[in-house]
Structure 1
């Protein structure tokens, strides 16, 4: 996840505003962690502690007009009783892409497997033919 933030920082000719949703209990530690990164001087970090709900923290990042948001919430939107639109709702509140561990992992795996996995090989021959 920090490697993605570094790519954003180093790939921009200006200082992008990067939001981070964190647990309120360790918000100061998380802010210090972000600011200790070698790319920290290339981004503006906006930390939004969860004091009530994830959505309220996301809304605070939206009000801060961040361009990207990170949430190291493993399983966010994946738990059995999470709302189906939880991740899109958070993204709408932020108004920017929300980078989550499982999203980053899936995209990475997709890029690793894509050349070796042809979906059409696993579908009936007449699939989607008109």
Structure 2
């Protein structure tokens, strides 16, 4: 009997940890990776500055997509081994799905920003 209680306690502890670590919401500047970026975007004038911002947004998009991929693997585990999590898997699945959508949207936004800054860099370079 104690072994079953240990397994149940371990599963509950793991589920609680997953919920707590995944609860952090990301804002738009955080999705870009740095809260000082909006100010930098306003002050951007040269092609090299646009190129630097484009590179930053590309890296941020990769990071957000990597986080989404991690959440996808967790979701797959929750779906395959739902019996390990007692009643919690539905909550975990819903929360993880929401995180996947949030990270993928952040990755898409960052990729769009990178494309915008690459375009502005090439346009600025052509004007000179």
Give the TM-score normalised by the residue count of structure 2. 0.22
Point out the structure with the larger strand share.
1
Point out the structure with the larger helix share.
2
Higher relative contact order (CA 8 A, sep 6+): 2
Give the TM-score normalised by the residue count of structure 1. 0.22
